[in-house]
């Protein structure tokens, strides 16, 4: 037995990509589209007159029914007259006695106009659904999902829609609980949407951001593939603090509750139990309250209060001791980790560049693209606990090679977005930031301003019309305020700053000949600040060993990294692009959490 096969679903982007010319070729075709209702309107048709089906003609045509019977059954007055005049012998037919009610009310027919979006583009497709095809109440609500088949035709009225789909059949309807569906409301702020990450991609703004993000992601892999880089997945769980001074997420399977019970066992062995002391304090508190209510002597009450105070102090002391002991149990080298999943303390990785070095020393040019983690509680618009990074490492490469590659990479990304996201960028320019396209074009066509750290400090010192929060002393870390002022106000374009003081860069960066600065750089772009940080890494064993000792890092955790200098060392350099910040730069938004699909920040991990 064969069944009729449904046509393949067509993306709305395919139908509307060239809406004012190419779309005409689709007119008259039968297509299947699916998506979510963005907006809707119902238009009622003229009412159909109701007809009374009284069966009168049928009864007249029935030969067994006389005219007298019909008159009696239809006209009560005639029936009464016959009854008075002696028509007792006549019994009217019961089938003529029953009433003939009106037929049930027919719902007023209507036509529903839907704007349907499937996430493939900014534009929506107008879908016209007659009430005979689908019940209007099921498809009108914003967010309703439908799969509909019909004929494409030109719209009957003038407007921004050139074609529309006239529905012939609805295959699927996913209804919406309008009372609880967030997007039933209009104009929801982006910060509120962060608490509903499972729904926010249905908004036009977030859907647009995700399409741009997708193009940037694909372009990342294309760039490195075109330049003969090999993709290497670095570990998410590591024993090494790649930066040397990061706030790390610790990885453990240890049960805090079990640790607490174990600690209580120790206290009980010592004859002191926190739980017992707390129970005693509660009992003594009740005694004090009873003494206050009774007329006991003041001496007894004072003694009870003094006893309660000492018990509370003991409870506080034990509680502080417990927190300190449990906290210490999760710190390095202060607890036996033999019962943990790993035999040593592990972390979520902050950076994959150290691990990439080992592959660069074997494969040449390598890169990695993935999430990195920092347990930073700062509520910064440019930071999230989990952010995606693009990291590259090149063997036989020095600082200048890394700077050139980083610059080419950013130009390539901007160019690809301009070429492939024209409609999305128009929406961004209209709704979010009208300078976004010009910014991207400037990155593509204009080279960044090159400044050493010393030159950047000198330039900022000469600024007279701006009061900075930080005084300019050599060796300070340039803040976001400083960098933004250089890119947005002074040079009005991208700026690349290099040769930073060694104190503000990771331990692995190559020390310059002056002994004070290192071969590191930042690429700063208007609107968002630092987008790339890069460096030439230290290949000299004696110098990097002294840096590890100087910063007080646990030497044993970096032995594998030092091995790369002991065996087949090579000059190498690389960089890290903050991918989420790149999306932020492209879209012109102000908070990085609005361009991350599921943002994680201090105290917030909703789904």
Average pLDDT of the segment spanning 6-35? 78
* Residues 384 and 498 grouped into a single domain: yes
User: Pick from 468, 505, 498, 504: which is nearest to 485 by CA?
Assistant: 468
Tell which wins on pLDDT, 27 or 64: 27
Residue 198 included in any domain: no
Lowest mean pLDDT among 81-90, 524-533, 537-546, 584-593: 81-90
Could you tell me the CA-to-CA distances from 42 to 134, 149, 390 in Å, in that order?
12, 19, 49
**pLDDT band at 96; cut points 50, 70, 90:** very low
Residues of the chain by 3-state class (helix, strand, coil), percent to 5: 45, 20, 40
Residue 510 included in any domain: yes
* Residues 130 and 268 grouped into a single domain: no
Question: What's the pLDDT score for residue 332?
Answer: 45
Question: What's the pLDDT score for residue 3?
Answer: 46
* Residues 223 and 350 grouped into a single domain: yes
- Read off the CATH number of the domain in which 131 is found: 2.40.50.140
Tell which wins on pLDDT, 336 or 421: 421
Lowest mean pLDDT among 186-200, 387-401, 419-433, 496-510: 186-200
Lowest mean pLDDT among 128-137, 411-420, 468-477, 493-502: 468-477
Residue 325 included in any domain: yes
Question: What's the pLDDT score for residue 303?
Answer: 78
Q: Is the pLDDT of residue 273 over 60?
A: yes
Sign for the CA dihedral angle at 294, 298, 300, 306 comes to: positive
Residue 336 included in any domain: no
Cα 475 from Cα 484, distance rounded (Å): 19
Average pLDDT of the segment spanning 193-200? 89
Global pTM reads 0.78
* Residues 555 and 432 grouped into a single domain: yes
User: At 196, phi and psi to the nearest 5?
Assistant: -135, 60
Is residue 178 exposed (0-12), middle (13-18) or buried (19+ Cβ within 10 Å)?
Answer: middle
Sign for the CA dihedral angle at 205, 207, 210, 211 comes to: negative
* Residues 38 and 124 grouped into a single domain: yes
Q: Residue 84 belongs to what domain range?
A: 56-96
Please report the beta strands in 24-144, taking only residues with DSSP state E, as ranges in sequence order. Answer: 30-44, 110-117, 125-130
**pLDDT band at 496; cut points 50, 70, 90:** very high
Average pLDDT of the segment spanning 125-130? 94
Task: Note whether 393 and 356 are within 8 A (CB).
Answer: yes
Tell which wins on pLDDT, 556 or 158: 556
Tell which wins on pLDDT, 162 or 251: 251
Q: Is the pLDDT of residue 160 over 60?
A: yes
Question: What's the pLDDT score for residue 150?
Answer: 94
Residue 190 included in any domain: no
Angle, to 10 degrees, between the axis of helix 579-587 and the axis of helix 399-420?
Answer: 40
**Last-in-domain residue among 184, 216, 233:** 184
Q: Are strands 365-373 and 230-231 parallel, antiparallel or unpaired?
A: parallel
* Residues 138 and 90 grouped into a single domain: no
Q: Is the pLDDT of residue 299 over 80?
A: no
Tokens at 264, concatenated: 């209580």
Average pLDDT of the segment spanning 105-127? 90
**pLDDT band at 110; cut points 50, 70, 90:** very high
Sign for the CA dihedral angle at 322, 325, 329, 335 comes to: negative
- What number of H helices and E strands is found in the chain? 19, 16
Select, from the ranges 180-194, 244-258, 259-273, the one with the highest average predicted confidence (pLDDT). Answer: 180-194
Provide the number of structural domains found in the chain. Answer: 4
Tokens at 164, concatenated: 């529309």
Percent of the chain residues past pLDDT 70, beyond the cut? 80
Cα 98 from Cα 604, distance rounded (Å): 70
Cα–Cα–Cα angle for 488, 392, 546, nearest 5°? 95
Residue 192 included in any domain: no
Q: Is the pLDDT of residue 560 over 90?
A: yes
* Residues 244 and 219 grouped into a single domain: yes
Q: Is the pLDDT of residue 69 over 60?
A: no
Could you tell me the CA-to-CA distances from 91 to 57, 66, 77, 81, 95 in Å, in that order?
22, 13, 16, 14, 12
Percent of the chain residues past pLDDT 90, beyond the cut? 55
**Last-in-domain residue among 96, 126, 155:** 96
Average pLDDT, the chain: 84
**Last-in-domain residue among 134, 149, 184:** 184
Cα 573 from Cα 399, distance rounded (Å): 6
Q: Is the pLDDT of residue 372 over 60?
A: yes
Task: Note whether 50 and 56 are within 8 A (CB).
Answer: no
Alpha helices (H) in 384-530, listed in sequence order: 399-420, 422-431, 436-445, 453-461, 480-484
* Residues 163 and 19 grouped into a single domain: yes
* Residues 323 and 372 grouped into a single domain: no
Cα 203 from Cα 193, distance rounded (Å): 9
Gyration radius (Cα) of the chain, Å: 38
Question: What's the pLDDT score for residue 568?
Answer: 94
Select, from the ranges 100-104, 290-294, 328-332, the one with the highest average predicted confidence (pLDDT). Answer: 290-294
* Residues 297 and 215 grouped into a single domain: no
Task: Note whether 356 and 368 are within 8 A (CB).
Answer: yes
* Residues 366 and 511 grouped into a single domain: yes
* Residues 524 and 568 grouped into a single domain: yes
Give, as one character, the DSSP assignment of residue 118. -
Q: Is the pLDDT of residue 463 over 60?
A: yes
Q: How many CB atoms lie within 10 A of CB 288?
A: 16
User: At 350, phi and psi to the nearest 5?
Assistant: -90, -35
Cα 74 from Cα 53, distance rounded (Å): 14
Task: Note whether 541 and 566 are within 8 A (CB).
Answer: yes
Lowest mean pLDDT among 317-321, 378-382, 422-426: 317-321
- Read off the CATH number of the domain in which 567 is found: 3.30.930.10
Tell which wins on pLDDT, 516 or 186: 516
Average pLDDT of the segment spanning 480-498? 95
Give the full edge-to-edge strand order of the sheet including 365-373. 230-231, 365-373, 386-395, 572-578, 529-537, 517-525, 495-501, 449-452
Tell which wins on pLDDT, 237 or 60: 237
DSSP-assigned beta bridge partners for residue 44: 110
Residue 233 included in any domain: yes
DSSP-assigned beta bridge partners for residue 509: 537
Lowest mean pLDDT among 59-68, 99-108, 140-149: 59-68
Question: What's the pLDDT score for residue 59?
Answer: 45
Question: What's the pLDDT score for residue 408?
Answer: 98
Q: Residues 584-606: pLDDT tens digits?
A: 999 999 999 999 999 998 888 87
Tokens at 83, concatenated: 């009854």
Residue 3 included in any domain: no
Question: What's the pLDDT score for residue 147?
Answer: 96
């Amino acid at each position: 037995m064969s069944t009729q096969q449904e046509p393949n679903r067509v993306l709305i982007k395919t139908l509307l990509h060239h809406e004012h010319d190419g779309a005409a070729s689709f007119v008259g075709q039968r297509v299947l589209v699916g998506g979510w209702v963005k907006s809707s309107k119902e238009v009622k048709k003229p009412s159909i007159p109701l007809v009374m089906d009284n069966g009168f003609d049928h009864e007249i045509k029935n030969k067994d029914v006389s005219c007298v019977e019909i008159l009696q059954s239809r006209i009560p007055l005639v029936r009464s007259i016959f009854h008075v005049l002696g028509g007792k012998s006549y019994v009217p037919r019961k089938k003529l006695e029953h009433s003939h009610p009106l037929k049930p009310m027919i719902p007023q027919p209507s036509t529903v106009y839907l704007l349907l979006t499937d996430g493939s583009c900014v534009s929506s497709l107008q879908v016209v659904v007659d009430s005979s095809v689908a019940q209007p109440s099921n498809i009108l609500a914003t967010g309703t999902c439908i799969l509909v088949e019909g004929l494409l035709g030109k719209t009957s009225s003038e407007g921004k829609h050139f074609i529309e789909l006239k529905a012939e059949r609805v295959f699927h309807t996913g209804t919406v609980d309008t009372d609880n569906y967030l997007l039933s409301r209009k104009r929801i702020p982006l910060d509120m949407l962060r608490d509903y990450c499972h729904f926010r991609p249905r908004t036009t703004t977030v859907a647009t951001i995700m399409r741009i993000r997708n193009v940037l992601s694909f372009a990342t892999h294309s760039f490195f593939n075109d330049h003969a880089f090999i993709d290497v997945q670095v570990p998410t769980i590591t024993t090494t603090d790649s930066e040397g001074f990061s706030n790390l997420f610790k990885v453990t399977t240890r049960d805090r509750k079990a640790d607490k019970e174990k600690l209580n066992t120790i206290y009980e062995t010592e004859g002191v139990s926190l739980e017992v002391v707390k129970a005693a304090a509660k009992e003594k508190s009740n005694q004090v309250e009873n003494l206050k209510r009774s007329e006991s002597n003041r001496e007894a009450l004072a003694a009870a209060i003094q006893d309660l105070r000492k018990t509370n102090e003991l409870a506080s002391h034990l509680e502080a001791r417990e927190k300190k002991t449990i906290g210490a149990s999760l710190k390095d080298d202060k607890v036996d980790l033999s019962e943990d999943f790993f035999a040593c303390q592990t972390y979520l990785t902050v950076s994959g560049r150290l691990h990439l070095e080992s592959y660069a020393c074997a494969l040449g040019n390598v890169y990695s693209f993935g999430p990195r983690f920092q347990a930073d509680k700062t509520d910064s618009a440019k930071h999230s606990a989990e952010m995606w990074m693009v990291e590259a490492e090149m063997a036989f490469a020095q600082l200048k090679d890394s700077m050139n590659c980083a610059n080419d990479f950013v130009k390539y990304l901007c160019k690809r977005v301009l070429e492939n996201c024209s409609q999305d960028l128009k929406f961004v320019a209209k709704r979010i930031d009208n300078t976004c396209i010009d910014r991207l074009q400037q990155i593509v066509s204009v080279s960044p301003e090159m400044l050493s750290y010393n030159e950047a400090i000198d330039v900022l010192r000469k600024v007279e019309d701006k009061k900075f929060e930080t005084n300019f002393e050599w060796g300070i870390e340039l803040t976001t305020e400083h960098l933004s002022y250089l890119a947005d106000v002074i040079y009005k374009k991208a700026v690349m700053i290099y040769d930073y003081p060694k104190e503000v860069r990771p331990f692995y960066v190559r020390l310059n000949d002056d002994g004070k600065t290192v071969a590191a750089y930042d690429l700063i772009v208007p609107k968002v600040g630092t987008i790339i940080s890069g460096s030439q890494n230290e290949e000299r064993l004696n110098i990097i060993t002294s840096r590890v000792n100087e910063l007080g890092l646990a030497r044993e955790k970096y032995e594998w990294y030092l091995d790369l200098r002991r065996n087949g060392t090579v000059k190498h350099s690389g960089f890290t692009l903050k991918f989420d910040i790149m999306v932020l730069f492209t879209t012109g938004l102000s908070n990085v959490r609005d361009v991350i699909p599921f943002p994680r920040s201090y105290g917030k991990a909703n789904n």
